[in-house]
């Protein structure tokens, strides 16, 4: 059998003359404070609060010493459950100073998901907003707390809890914090981020200082960041996009983090860019589409913008042209990755063509490797042929928290993370994502796994069986559709009745938009559900002249 020459294989490694960082996050922040003491570190537009690097470090230390006073030890899990706000960022760097493991909890979670994460991670201290919009965080915490034995302390941000923590920290001994930080290693776990899993429950990707600090740093390097950059971060902090590609990319370069609003708001984002002279703007394509469509778009002075990052979903070519032309982001970068890889594995460069930016996810990042393999044999395929994308290097997680078997399924003995995504590598090493091995649905940048939603809907007393698929959607890229078999005698479910059942128990973006009631599912001769056929049928159902059954 002929073999593929090495140069023609779908393999690429990211060479770099810039070495990996060997710091902990706290040490790296100290370097930025020493180099840029008076430069802006953090701006919160909603409140007008701002911190220089010196002021930011002082408040980070106060939070860290406050947590130390609560008895937080190295390796303890500290949860953070809040929308984007300055206190979120302070907690991020404070836990890093202590060597506590920050568990980022999605602000859209409801009691069902919160309880699972609190127990699975063994969270000892939970820092949380009291409420935001329709989310009563304090109420949900009170509801689940009796069933969460590890949870010892809850620190609510909007009242005496947080102020008490800061006061205790400011009265603490800085030498105790310095002593703790000196005990830390860059290879210590520092962050658990939950990513939906096919097991029916989220899995906690466990990441180190070395993982996320270097990933943020090199993403920033490819964006050309310096201390003169000001990065507008409307993407959520609970995800790597916000806290790594945003916050850590900024502080590792002495740049400024700008929080435009607690949650994404296109007008507030545009106002933040203009008022703070931001040089970089982040978002998923739907965010940029919303900003460009704002009726007052043209009155905002965006002339300071130079670059930014778009990730989470493919970018339509016209949107990319508008982002570069109307928004002035001529150096905008496309990134691809996953939580388990800290997150970025590939990225376009500033001099890449528009075509490259809309048709590929760029080339491998510095100090990383990527390859495309035949899922059946594991052999690297020739360039131009599809296969499963794998990545290896400093960015790969330690594993899924408390789930060694699931870790072994994702990371092979040679250290390759199997992404589950189908990709093609061209002759220049650029990668295009062509599909998914599994049935993951990407809705507006959120990665959703049908099995988790199916498991929850199975708790409905009238549901005999349920299958969830992704269907095309103009606004979000994909939406969820549930195919449901009802128990005998039960009234058919509708999209509205499913929404009511899920409200307060499942994050809003996980609630199916469409519900289709069936007698049977399409099956193979061996009894396996044919989701491919379901998706094909769904296209006809949703395009039909009549309202889909159960919609």
CATH of the domain at 492: 3.30.300.30
pLDDT of residue 5: 65
pTM: 0.85
Distances, alpha carbon 29 to alpha carbons 12, 53, 93, 202, in Å: 32, 9, 8, 31
What distance in Å separates the CA atoms of residue 123 and residue 146, rounded to the nearest whole number? 14
- End-to-end Cα distance, the chain: 53
* Residue 396 near residue 24 (C-beta atoms within 8 A): no
Strand extents, DSSP E, 384-487 = 387-393, 399-400, 417-425, 431-436, 441-443, 446-448, 463-473, 477-486
**Residue linked to tokens 């940029």:** 288
User: Are 202 and 196 within 8 A, CB to CB?
Assistant: yes
Cα-based torsion angle of the residue sequence 193, 195, 199, 200 in order, rounded to the nearest 10 degrees:
110
Check whether 319 has a pLDDT greater than 80. yes
Q: How far apart are CA 372 and CA 377, in angstroms?
A: 12
Cα separation values, 111 from 76, 133, 148, 450, Å: 22, 16, 12, 19
| Per-residue pLDDT at 353 | 93
pLDDT digits (tens, 9 = 90+) for 434-457: 766 767 788 888 878 677 888 799
Q: Residue 548: its pLDDT value, please?
A: 45
Q: Tell me if 241 is assigned to some domain.
A: yes
In a domain, 474, yes or no: yes
Chain segment 323-357, per-residue pLDDT in tens? 999 999 999 999 999 999 999 999 999 999 999 99
Phi, psi angle pair for 291, to nearest 5°: -65, -45
Domain of 120 in residue numbering reads as 47-282
Query: Is 76 part of any domain?
Result: yes
Boundary (domain end) residue, out of 252, 282, 312: 282
In a domain, 307, yes or no: no
How large is the average pLDDT for residues 7-21?
95
**9 found inside a domain:** no
| DSSP classification of residue 385 | S
- Whether the CB-CB separation of 455 and 201 falls below 8 Å is answered with yes
- Give 403-434 pLDDT, tens digit per residue: 999 999 999 999 999 999 889 999 999 999 87
On whether residue 329 sits in a domain, the answer given is no
pLDDT at 529: 76
Q: Which two tokens stand for residue 359?
A: 């048709």
Domain boundary among 221, 250, 282: 282
CATH number for the domain including 83? 3.40.50.12780
Q: Across residues 91-111, what is the average pLDDT?
A: 96
Per-residue pLDDT at 1 exceeds 50: no
Are the beta carbons of 343 and 391 closer than 8 angstroms? no
Q: How confident is the model at residue 524 (pLDDT cuts 50, 70, 90)?
A: low
Does residue 375 sit within a domain? no
Q: For the chain, how many residues are written?
A: 551
| Domain assignment of residue 101, yes or no | yes
- Please, which pLDDT band fits residue 526 given cuts at 50, 70 and 90? very low
Burial (CB count within 10 angstroms: exposed 0-12, middle 13-18, buried 19+), residue 329: buried
Least confident range from 103-107, 435-439, 486-490: namely: 435-439
The beta strands (E) that lie in 167-238 are given as: 189-195, 203-208, 230-232
CA dihedral 11, 398, 95, 105 (to 10 degrees): 90
Of 282, 299, 326, the one marking the end of a domain is: 282
What ranges in 449-516 are assigned the alpha helix state H? 450-457, 495-502
Please state the domain count of the chain: 2
Q: pLDDT tens digits, residue range 195-204?
A: 864 345 789 9
What is the predicted pLDDT for the residue at 332?
A: 97
Distance in angstroms (rounded) separating the CA atoms of residues 456 and 453: 5
């Amino acid at each position: 059998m002929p073999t593929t020459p090495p140069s023609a294989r779908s393999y690429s490694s990211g060479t770099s003359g810039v070495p990996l960082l060997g710091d902990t996050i706290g040490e790296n922040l100290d370097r930025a404070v020493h180099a840029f003491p008076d430069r802006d570190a953090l701006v919160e537009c909603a409140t007008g609060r701002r911190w220089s690097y010196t002021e930011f470090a002082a408040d980070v230390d106060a939070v860290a010493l406050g947590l130390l006073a609560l008895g937080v030890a190295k390796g303890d899990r500290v949860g953070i459950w809040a929308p984007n706000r300055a206190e979120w960022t302070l907690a991020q760097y404070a836990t890093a100073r202590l060597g506590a493991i920050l568990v980022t909890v999605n602000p859209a979670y409801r009691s069902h998901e919160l309880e699972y994460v609190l127990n699975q991670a063994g969270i000892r201290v939970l820092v949380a907003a009291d409420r935001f919009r329709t989310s009563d965080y304090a109420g949900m915490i009170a509801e689940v707390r009796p069933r969460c034995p590890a949870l010892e302390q809850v620190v609510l941000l909007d009242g005496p809890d947080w102020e008490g923590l800061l006061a205790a920290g400011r009265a603490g001994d800085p030498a105790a914090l310095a002593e703790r930080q000196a005990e830390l290693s860059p290879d210590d776990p520092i962050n658990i981020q939950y990513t939906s899993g096919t097991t029916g429950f989220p899995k906690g990707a466990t990441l180190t200082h070395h993982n996320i600090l270097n990933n943020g740093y090199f993403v920033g390097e490819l964006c050309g960041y310096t201390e003169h950059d000001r990065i507008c971060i409307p993407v959520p902090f609970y995800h790597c996009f916000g806290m790594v590609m945003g916050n850590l990319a900024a502080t590792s370069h002495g740049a400024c983090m700008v929080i435009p609003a607690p949650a994404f708001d296109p007008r507030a984002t545009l106002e933040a860019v203009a008022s703070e002279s931001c040089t970089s703007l982040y978002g998923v394509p739907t965010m940029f589409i919303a900003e460009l469509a704002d009726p007052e778009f043209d009155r905002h002075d965006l002339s300071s913008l130079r670059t930014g990052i778009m990730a989470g979903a493919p970018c339509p070519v016209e949107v990319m042209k508008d982002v570069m032309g109307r928004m002035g982001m001529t150096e905008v970068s496309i990134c691809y990755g996953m939580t388990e890889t800290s997150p970025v594995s590939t990225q376009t460069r500033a001099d890449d063509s528009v075509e490259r930016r809309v048709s590929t996810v760029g080339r491998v990042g510095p100090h990383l490797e990527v390859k495309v393999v035949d899922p059946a044999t594991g052999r690297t395929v020739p360039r131009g042929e599809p296969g499963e994308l794998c990545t290896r290097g400093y960015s790969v997680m330690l594993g899924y928290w408390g789930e060694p078997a699931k870790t072994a399924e994702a990371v092979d003995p040679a250290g390759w993370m199997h992404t589950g995504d189908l990709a093609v590598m061209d002759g220049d090493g650029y990668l295009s994502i062509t599909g998914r091995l599994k049935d993951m649905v990407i809705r507006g940048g959120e990665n959703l796994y049908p099995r988790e939603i199916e498991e929850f809907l199975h708790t409905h007393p009238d549901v005999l069986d349920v299958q969830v698929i992704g269907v095309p959607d103009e606004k979000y890229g994909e939406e969820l559709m549930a195919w449901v078999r009802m128990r005998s005698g039960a009234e058919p479910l509708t999209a509205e009745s499913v929404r009511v059942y899920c409200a307060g128990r499942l994050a809003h973006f996980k609630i199916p938009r469409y519900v289709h009631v069936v007698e049977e599912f399409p099956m193979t001769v061996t009894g396996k559900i044919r989701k491919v056929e379901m998706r094909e049928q769904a296209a006809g159902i949703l395009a039909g002249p009549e309202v889909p059954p159960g919609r």
